[in-house]
């Protein structure tokens, strides 16, 4: 199956991390579909990708964070593109610093868990059946390393939410050990930004996108976690496979 025959659903594809992945996939000839609740983000994405590839980008307004919403947009998606061969999930947010736990209301924790875990679970439950039984298909999670440590004072809920997402990915690898579909996780242990917002040690989202697109394109590994802590890791960890 050539890249042109593959249709990648990029969950979170309108965000900073996701947009870099979407652009890289389109540049390699993939067809890509992106769902977002925010139509303005989808319009911005259309302006960001290479003009010559825009015809291969399908965008839909919808909510993949609720069971009702995801089923509705799933049907609209399949009606539009016909099939999904690959899924890459970079849902959630990259930063939260609302303060120490004793200052937070329960609804704030609910929101963090809903954003980082529930949306990942609900969308996985909806779209996983489309790819699970085909060895030519892939499902790739992009997660953060914030779940393994407190990044700085006041970011505790980010750690809780990110940890729940890491745990969910671990559960999937161990619950489905014989899965035909290629199931992988790229764990980002540093910041990711667009070129005009880079900071020391950050990953350029375009470089990250190229690395993830390579992983999806190759389909030669499964049930693997690729930890990325610095720009050099994109080459050694993902492109060369040196874990």
Q: What is the pLDDT of residues 194-221, one digit of tens each?
A: 999 999 989 999 999 999 999 999 999 9
Give 201 or 109, the one with higher predicted confidence: 109
Q: What is the pTM of this model?
A: 0.95
- pLDDT-derived band of residue 92, with 50, 70 and 90 as boundaries? confident
- DSSP string of 149-178, one letter each residue: S--STT-HHHHHHHHHHHHHHHHHHHH-TT
Element (H, E) at 101: none
Four-CA torsion 202, 226, 143, 3, nearest 10 degrees: 100
Q: Judge whether residue 241 has pLDDT over 70.
A: no
- pLDDT-derived band of residue 95, with 50, 70 and 90 as boundaries? confident
Q: Which pLDDT belongs to residue 193?
A: 92
- Quick check: helix, strand or coil at residue 184? strand
Token pair listed for 173: 């690898």
Domains of the chain and CATH, by start: 3-234 (3.40.50.720)
Q: Judge whether residue 243 has pLDDT over 60.
A: no
Residues whose CB falls within 8 Å of the CB of residue 181, separated by 6 or more in sequence, listed in order: 131, 132, 133, 134, 135, 137, 138, 139, 222
**% of the chain exceeding 70 in pLDDT:** 99
* Cβ–Cβ < 8 Å for 93, 13: no
CA–CA distance, 22 with 112 (Å, rounded to integer): 25
- CA angle, 192 as apex, 64 and 200 as ends, to 5°? 165
Q: Judge whether residue 126 has pLDDT over 60.
A: yes
Q: Which pLDDT belongs to residue 242?
A: 57
Q: Which pLDDT belongs to residue 158?
A: 95
Q: Judge whether residue 88 has pLDDT over 90.
A: yes
- Quick check: helix, strand or coil at residue 138? strand
Q: Which pLDDT belongs to residue 204?
A: 95
Q: Which pLDDT belongs to residue 238?
A: 74
Token pair listed for 137: 């298909």
Mean pLDDT of the chain: 95
Q: Which letter does DSSP use for residue 121 in this model?
A: H
**Strands 224-228 and 57-61, sheet pairing:** unpaired
């Amino acid at each position: 199956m050539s890249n042109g025959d593959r249709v990648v659903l990029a969950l979170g594809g309108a965000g900073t991390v996701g947009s870099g992945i979407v652009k890289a996939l389109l540049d390699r000839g993939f067809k890509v579909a992106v769902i977002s609740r925010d139509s303005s983000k989808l319009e911005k994405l259309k302006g960001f990708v290479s003009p010559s590839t825009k015809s291969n980008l399908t965008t839909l307004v919808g909510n993949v964070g609720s069971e009702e919403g995801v089923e509705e947009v799933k049907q609209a998606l399949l009606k539009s593109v016909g099939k999904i061969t690959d899924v890459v999930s970079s849902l959630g947010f990259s930063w939260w610093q609302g303060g120490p736990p004793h200052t937070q209301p329960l609804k704030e924790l609910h929101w963090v868990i809903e954003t980082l875990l529930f949306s990942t679970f609900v969308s996985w439950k909806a779209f996983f059946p489309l790819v699970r039984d085909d060895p030519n298909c892939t499902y790739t999670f992009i997660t953060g390393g914030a779940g393994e440590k407190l990044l700085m004072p006041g970011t505790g809920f980010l750690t809780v939410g990110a940890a729940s997402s890491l745990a969910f990915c671990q559960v999937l690898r161990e619950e489905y050990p014989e899965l035909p579909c290629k199931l992988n996780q790229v764990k980002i242990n540093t910041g990711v930004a667009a070129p005009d917002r880079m900071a020391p040690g950050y990953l350029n989202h375009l470089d990250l996108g190229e690395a993830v697109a390579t992983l999806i394109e190759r389909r030669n590994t499964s049930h693997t976690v690729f930890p990325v802590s610095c720009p050099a890791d994109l080459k050694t960890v993902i492109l060369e496979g040196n874990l």
